[in-house]
Amino acid sequence: MPWKIGWEQKLTRQPAYRIRKESKMFTSFDYYEQAEKLVPPLKNPSLFEREQNIIKNFAESAHTVEDWNTGCPFCKEKEYKLFFTKWKVPYYKCPNCFSIYAGIDGEELKRYKKNEALAALRLDWEYQSDTSNRRTILWNDLLDWYRFRCFRYLGKNQNLKILDFGTRYRELIRLIKNSGLVHSYELRNSILSINADEKTESADVVLCMDYIQMEFVPLQFLKEVHKSLKDNGLLFFSIRMGSGIDVLALKENNKSIFPYEFNLLPTPKGLRILLEQAGFEVLELTTPGTMDVSYLHEQVNSLENENAFLYYFLKTAGAAELAEFQRFLQKSGLSSYAQLVARKEK
């Protein structure tokens, strides 16, 4: 995670960081080298294919919005350009903040969130246990990230009131509850919400990991989050970024980006505008992703006509050059995976 460098205490370099003087926002792009085969692939290919087939069938039959007149979900810019189309769903790019968003219909999104076949797959024991086996190391690092940031900004990392949006993995919820962070825990907007504790009011911390990108009106959602937090409470979230290199280079060929799961792909500028509108101060925005170069390398043939430089580089670079390129993306804020910490302003 962004504050840790290395796996198994394998330190490779000192952390790189910079602080934007005008906002005091910490934009640390710490980085690490992942040891070979230490962490298995994050997704089971067979289960991921089944999951995608369900989503693809839904997307191709759903109503889409061809004439977008509601403005950019982040900066409200009315102008837009078609960037790509995937599974019959258009993705538009904002010319002001450069964020990307899907032209989906709000009612169709509500229907998608109630898709019984998708929920059944994700609740299945095989799906849950396989995901846990692949991500437990990453989840423990995530908990360390929570502890470190809570202590930095709240002065404590125990007995916190936590409100969690969207988490759908039983093992991750168990780890959070047993981490020492929790005084009370509530889960909302999840297929596992039946496990929620009593309703949380004035939460110390709100978690929205890999969730906000599904929203149709993110400002409305963040205002709901704002009301749920106590003054100076913290919002943690992660999101795939429209400024990330694999998103911009692969477009519709990106196998890990698809409609209804990834409707919002913001840029750092778009995120800051959105959060400030909702009453949050952005404390940290980091891009600690490690998979960008892997995604590009796996789909390099999709780049030949789209990006001759990347195609040449990926075809000819050795392991050291590829690792250095990934570090550059992390440090420069150009990975497609971002983590953010924001504080509720009074």
Q: What phi and psi values does residue 244 have, to the nearest 5 degrees?
A: -70, 145
Closest to 153 (Cα-Cα) out of 201, 97, 204, 194: 204
Structure confidence at residue 51 as a pLDDT band (50, 70, 90): very high
Q: Could you tell me the two tokens for 194? A: 């039946």
Structure confidence at residue 150 as a pLDDT band (50, 70, 90): very high
pLDDT at 37: 39
More confident residue, 180 or 11: 180
Answer positive or negative: Cα dihedral of 251, 255, 221, 111: positive
Q: Could you tell me the two tokens for 306? A: 């789209």
Least confident of 19-28, 45-54, 331-340: 19-28
Structure confidence at residue 5 as a pLDDT band (50, 70, 90): very low
Torsion, CA 176, CA 182, CA 185, CA 187, rounded to 10: -30
**Average pLDDT of span 327-340:** 92
User: SS3 of 42, please?
Assistant: coil
Q: What phi and psi values does residue 46 have, to the nearest 5 degrees?
A: -70, -45
pLDDT at 193: 74
β-partners of residue 90 are 85
* Contacts with 340 (C-beta within 8 Å, 6 or more apart), sequence order: 235, 236, 237, 238, 239, 271, 275, 282, 284, 285, 286
In three-state form (DSSP H/G/I as H, E/B as E, the rest C), the secondary structure along 118-157 is: HHHHHHCHHHHHHHHHHHHHHHHHHHHHHHHHHHHHHCCC
pLDDT at 199: 64
